[in-house]
Structure 1
């Protein structure tokens, strides 16, 4: 199996430390193999659960992230293709599905662990909730179908099918989240399986999602939707992370259409990507870094230091070369992104947020989260920063070890908070080690 070394360009010392030639995505040392994982239905699985690295901190954390967290969250007793977002199957609701951010992180991790049919079945389940206009729910809450949920002063109604299509938080954050993640799921499924029949069958649904994302995009190229993966702060209305992920998604869906012989659709989606990139580079750039978001009344908001938008601009390749040259030296060694030592916080100056930036009193998302850590690692891989990549990975592994190899939903200066046994960090640990540390990339043409 050939690894992609050019993108990561890890230092020789780091290469020796991690012995990249001795990996992994296959046979594990039987002496280090975890017990066979059993599904809730009694079906035994023997997925590739281990990586063979001399750095035991990383190797053990990977194995435990796989067996104790990601695979433990899969529960075919609810339906084949179901997984929880928490390893205990309880956090955020038994039987609930969160198909956007959590769904993509888990789907990608499960594909690395060999659970292709589980991921495809989950895809089919989520697709069944897509509306004729392409709209997707950001949560599926079967037990709350038809009910009004949220706070007394701000409510949303769960659809009769159990799908939640609009947020109860004022300004409807997460509005754009489901469409890039749906496209990203299609992309990783096809890259791994090379199943052209599957792609042809799913392409109408994939394109519907892309078209709905296009409906959120202004003629100038600004993607609406408020907070892309955060609710508090709400980031009304044009979140910088949404711009970067949307450009990335339009590139991916353009490539999928090209492979399927849909050249006109491919061209249209590529034009959306280019329009968003051009707008972002011009409107979000504030001289030495990118603005966090653009408010429809207050304008450009860039008052919280460096943010996750800066990581995402480099990670997704949306920033141009001159912008990267100014931005990367600031990002590379910035320790203020470590909240209580944990990667990666959303801003270097969270204390600078003002009350008007929050729909509610709490400031829940001023935290280090796995979603931001993934962007950091993606950016470091793109920039060839092997040392920084390993440091960030090891820190997440250490925190996991200190908690019995479970991770919290969020981390702050006082430690972890939010949901317990949350699968975001472990899922991203698997993705980051495989894709960025080991440099394994499944190309669209089936090569590695």
Structure 2
């Protein structure tokens, strides 16, 4: 259902009510309220025409394709690493918890005793060799691809890292402590395999983290940030169940990698792209996705942030024919030795890099830069009937025609960064929007399903209003992008106090009674 509303000022606000198809077997009443028709329409199309359309329980319960047509990259094939994580996170925002948990179980069944997970699951190619002639890898008899056919085996750090990140988002959405307790042995085992790729100094090996060509042999800067993020998340997950030994273990690993990154990758004005075992530091391609990674995943020091952020903020070279986000600002400078195959197909703008850019801009509070990138991706979708290509360069889009990476990340970026929505490990809902001034003037918000109910809220300059329906109380924390004072909070018609810490305003919404939602209203000066 799509409803169009106009305010008395003539502003168009599009409300999209997400109603999941019967093929997926669930209903969601979640809505978005956005004062930007282009982004609102792109979000709706990304959700329905791409992400939800790729769910196909006829293959198996929990199956989803990486392409909207269900055929790209092979019917029935799964790509549980990067694609699997991006899709799972997007599906969780769209209310598909059961689908995501079933997919997790499927992927987990391919885990090796040492913790290794497959890059791809190709049932029709089980036991066969795949890849171009003279560049082949053998698919395991179980159908899993555990080694890349590109020489030097890139993506070695990818599967384990995204498995951990997937576990984190599943638990955040469900607060299912029993599920977490049952899964942690598998998750920790994967983390231990990932740790085997780390040198004594703290360098994460595995060649290209999410790129194959160029191959980035052997220590990709993107890997360093993502692995630190994964180990920090895993330390927190182990703390939830009281495993303090594992908590400390993974904190120490995260700190070791972060320390190495700050010392060895920093080149005075930016970060090295990767460190080659023979040629050493590689940094000649302008600013790169490693710079975005440093600010996104929190591995940059405060001093380094102050140097690199002013360069990144306005670096247009990352946009290839207007599309975010390329892996480097000077893609034409790569040399032949930097790929172990015959081409450099990943010298492109891709959704995985855009997510890092958006994450970094959100961390730095750059609302205008963030919304500009979202509009660029939304416009690219509109120009192609709301389908997106796998990659974009100076000549336009190429690769798979209905690839789900951009639509998945569009959903994730709107929710996590524009709306600033996050589910806390303690079951709380946290809202810290990085929205442009025009949004605050016009108002924005959503109805969002929670593990035990739903919340509806609208935000505007000087006020936030909403209501909550659920069987148990719900903690809500809000952080505004500007200083606030003289806060007046009313819940169910009565003034109440709120807790304030580190710019966060926290209060508890009581359970709804007799079908009546709990209402809240906040007024403040700023």
The answer (yes or no) to whether the contact 1:51–1:63 under 8 Å persists in 2 is: no
Deviation at 1:219, TM superposition (A): 1.0
Report the number of matched residues. 421
User: Following the alignment from structure 1 to structure 2, what is the Cα–Cα distance between the partners of residues 264 and 125?
Assistant: 29
Q: Matched residues in 1 for 2:31 and 2:47: separation?
A: 8
Q: Distance in 2 between matches of 1:152 and 1:326?
A: 46
- 1:332-356 Cα deviation digits (max 9, x unpaired): 0110000010000000000110000
Structure with bigger gyration radius: 2
Identify the residue that residue 291 of structure 1 maps to in structure 2. Answer: 272
Report how far residue 143 of structure 1 moved: 0.2
The residue aligned with 1:173 is 154
CA distance in 1, matches of 2:410, 2:126: 34
Counterpart contact for 1:70–1:109, Cα < 8 Å: yes
Listed one character per residue, the Cα deviations across residues 155-200 of structure 1 (whole Å, up to 9, x for unaligned) are 1100000000001110000011001100000000001100000000
TM-fit CA distance, 1:153: 1.4
Gaps (5+ residues) in structure 1?
1-16, 23-27
2:73 paired with 1:89: no
Match 2:398 to one of 413, 417, 440: 417
- Of Structure 1 and Structure 2, the greater strand share is in 2
The structure with higher relative contact order (CA 8 Å, sep 6+) is 1
Which residue pairs with 1:210 in the alignment? 191
| 2:131 aligned counterpart, secondary structure | strand
- Whether the aligned pair in 2 keeps the contact of 1:49 and 1:63 (CA below 8 Å) is no
Shift of 1:420: 0.8
- Match of 1:197, SS state, is helix
Change (3 A) 1:36 1:224: closer
Q: Which string of whole-angstrom CA distances, capped at 9 and with x for unpartnered residues, describes residues 70-97 of structure 1?
A: 0000000000100000000010010000
**What is the match of residue 170 of structure 2?**
189
TM-superposed deviation, 1:360: 1.8
Q: 1:367 aligns with which of 337, 348, 362?
A: 348
Cα-to-partner distance string for 1:11-62 (whole Å, 9 max, x where unaligned): xxxxxx999xx9xxxxx95xx54665131xxx64323564111211111100
Cα offset for 1:361? Answer: 2.0
Partner of 2:252, secondary structure, is helix
CA distance in 1 between counterparts of 2:11 and 2:194 reads 40
CA distance in structure 1 between the aligned counterparts of 2:258 and 2:311, rounded to whole angstroms: 22
Q: Aligned to 2:363, which of 362, 379, 382?
A: 382
2:231 partner SS: helix
Structure 2 match to 1:37: 21
> Which TM-score applies when normalising by structure 2?
0.78
Matches within 5 A, 1:6-45: 29=15, 32-33=16-17, 36-39=20-23, 44-45=25-26
Determine the C-alpha separation between the residues in 2 that align with 1:332 and 1:48: 37
2:255 is aligned to: 274
Q: Give every structure 1 segment of 4 or more consecutive aligned residues whose post-TM-superposition deviation is greater than 6 Å.
A: none
- Is there any run of 5+ residues in structure 2 with no aligned partner, and where? 1-9, 430-526
Aligned equivalents of 2:358 and 2:20: distance in 1? 30
The structure with the greater share of residues assigned to helix is 1
- CA deviations on 1:308-361 (whole Å, 9 max, x unpaired) are 000000000000000000000000011000001000000000011000001122
Aligned mates of 1:369, 1:290 — CA distance in 2: 20
Aligned to 1:318: 299
TM-score scaled by structure 1? 0.92
- Report the Cα distance in structure 2 between the residues aligned to 1:18 and 1:98, rounded to whole angstroms: 42
Which secondary structure does the structure 2 equivalent of 1:205 belong to?
A: helix
Q: What secondary structure does 2:32 align onto?
A: coil
Q: Counterpart of 1:393? A: 374
